[in-house]
Structure 1
Amino acid sequence: MHTESTTPRPISHLVTFAHKSSPDTFSRISPVMAISPRVSVVVPALNEAENLPHVFATLPRWVHEVVLVDGNSVDDTVAVARRLRPGLRVVTQRGRGKGDALAAGFAACTGDIIVMIDADGSTDGREIVRFVAALVAGADYVKGSRFATGGGSDDITFGRRVGNRALSSLVNLLYRTRYTDLCYGYNAFWARHLDVLGPDCTGFEVETLLNIRAAKAGLVVHEVPSHERGRIHGVSNLRTLRDGWRVLRTIFRERFSRAVGLRSEMTRSRLPVTDQGAA
């Protein structure tokens, strides 16, 4: 699935993992056309001008819109993005952190499906069709996994791998899920579920928060394989110990929270000022 086409072909060979099945049971997706729904791609970015040409080159031409959330970059991130993607929607982030950026981006989306990718080149936009195919085939929420068959990573360290596995096991125990890759940010979902998913955190724990809330809301969750690339330019803001602790706190906070389905007002309150600039 690494060859882009202007018109996506029917998908009949992708395999997903349904959390309601046994851990070793995989099911094939029925042939569907991934172009049917309108797809919004949210890209949070902070000083990623050097990486955006690669990232945008991998995005399918048939996506409905690309929403760039700029975290007040001091480089040419916004100018480069507009030059690369005519009709780009730009959101200026009011707060700080990845969670806050995604909340702002989600609120600005107008598509039927929302896909979240990173601006550092680690997530491959050509894989978006896998996520869309799984959603069209019946999933509510689709989780990318580096550890599913066909996935992989060029970037994960031993410490992050061990921590991810431990945190995934904890979530699976507490929430009766079967996630194989809790702390990976390549996810997609139907926009209609934003009220129960809507993130209200600021940092990298946002991926865990979305995964947990999808499970708590009883959404149909599927995993698809994804291959993580290394960051192309710059230095990651991820800090293993700090962000691992924030993930752990989120896991237990959500375990004792019953506020599922009551987040629409909070999500709307985060609506940022948006503009749709031309290249």
Structure 2
Amino acid sequence: MSDAARSRGARSETKPDRPSDPRISVVVPALNEARNLAVVLPELPEVHEVILVDGGSLDGTVAAARQALPGIKVLTQTRRGKGNALAVGFAAVTGDVVVMFDADGSADPAEIPRFVEALVAGADFAKGSRFCAGGGSADITPVRRAGNAFLNGVVNHGFGTRFSDLCYGYNAFWTDLLPMLDLPDPAIPGRADGRMLWGDGFEIETLINCRFAAAGVRITEVPSVERLRIYGDSNLHAVSDGLRVLRTAGAERRRARTLQELRPRLPLATRTDAAGGSSTDGRVAPRRVRVAS
């Protein structure tokens, strides 16, 4: 059996056929990014759809997006946080592949075909990396670089992966994998105390990485060069969001263990893999993931 088949485990027998020329859905979460979108959206390659998820911007983000890219789909996120914005966008995609794309200008639109090529070549999840061969960053600070390296080590140890860049939001995956992520339902109202639901914040990239790793899907790292933000300041807070990511790594490891322990107690017809993917014969996907550059 090939490495790819092993990494996909039991799902490989039941996974639907995937097209060689997939329809691409680009999901763009945005909060007060009008000036950046005016520059970035016209640079996007021709795709099936672009979905902007606005977080309640006050700077004309929606109008700027529509002017820059007529035909763009515009949604309003239901709670707050980048994770909720992505969940809202994911729920609306109609393509075969979803690309997570930041609105601040840091993601290079010309790299989208590279992610899609990795998926068509056999990957389930194309994970952008600034730190594998061919990647780079014009924006990361020494503090964020050190924090990312530490968090990489935590997740790689806990999930048996070899991620080189955990906290990077430029990723793509097949939309048939969306149920595996089990993200908070966008229709659920926000908490009365103002706290974000689990998965609604900047921990979303780590959560996605961990759940795909726990599911045993084929993950391929794709080299990506992070550009400088064009205008404005980042909504990321290195210390507080870094701690949230650390808590996410621990919580997702406990979640994966709990689901692994529950599986043998379930009837064969209802067993699921570690992130929600069903297995008709009761076998489970392997926990270790091969990450290839």
Greater displacement, 80-89 / 160-169: 80-89
Aligned residue number for residue 171 of structure 1: 155
Mapping of residues 56-75 of structure 1, within 5 Å? 56-61=41-46, 63-75=47-59
Give the equivalent residue in structure 2 for 1:135. 119
User: Post-superposition shift, 1:50?
Assistant: 0.3
Structure 2 residue 42 is the aligned partner of structure 1 residue 44: no
1:274 aligned residue: none
CA contact (8 A) 2:24 2:99 kept: yes
5+ unaligned residues in a row in structure 1: which ranges?
Answer: 1-17, 22-33, 265-279
Q: Does 1:55 align with 2:40?
A: yes
SS of equivalent residue, structure 2 residue 34: coil
5+ residue gaps, structure 2, are 8-18, 185-198, 260-273, 279-293
Q: Which amino acid aligns with 2:204?
A: V
Call closer, same or farther: CA 1:105–1:95 in 2, change over 3 Å.
same
**TM-superposition CA deviations, 1:149-204 (whole Å, max 9, x none):** 11100110001000100100111111000000000000000000001124331111
Q: For 1:60-99, list aligned pairs within 5 A.
A: 60-61=45-46, 63-99=47-83
Paired residue for 1:11? none
Structure whose alpha-carbon radius of gyration is higher = 2
Which whole-Å deviations, capped at 9, do the CAs of 1:230-273 have from their partners, x for residues lacking one? 11111111111100100011001011114544499xxxxxxxxx
Shift of 1:60: 0.4
Distance in 1, matches of 2:60 and 2:277, equals 34
**Matching of residues 130-279 of structure 1 within 5 Å:** 130-200=114-184, 201-258=199-256, 260-262=274-276
Cα distance in structure 1, aligned partners of 2:277 and 2:247 = 20
Alignment TM-score, normalising by the size of structure 2? 0.76
TM-score with structure 1 setting the length: 0.80
- Counterpart residue identity of residue 76, structure 1: G
8 Å CA contact 2:211–2:275 kept in 1: the answer is no
Work out the CA distance in 2 between the residues paired with 1:256 and 1:174: 10
Q: Specify the alignment match of 1:28 in structure 2.
A: none
- Counterpart CA distance in 1 for 2:204 and 2:139 is 20
Partners in 2 of 1:78 and 1:203 — Cα distance?
21
**d(CA) in 2 for partners of 1:210, 1:256:** 15
Change (3 A) 1:137 1:161: same
CA distance in 2, matches of 1:213, 1:174: 12
Q: Is the aligned partner of 1:126 residue 2:110?
A: yes
Give secondary structure in 2 for the equivalent of 1:40.
Answer: strand
Q: Are 1:208 and 1:251, in contact at CA under 8 Å, matched by a contact in 2? A: yes
Comparing both structures, which one devotes a greater share of its residues to helix? Answer: 2
Residue-by-residue CA offset, 1:111-131 (whole Å, 9 max, x unaligned)? 000000100000011100000
Q: Secondary structure, in 3 states, of the residue corresponding to 1:37?
A: coil
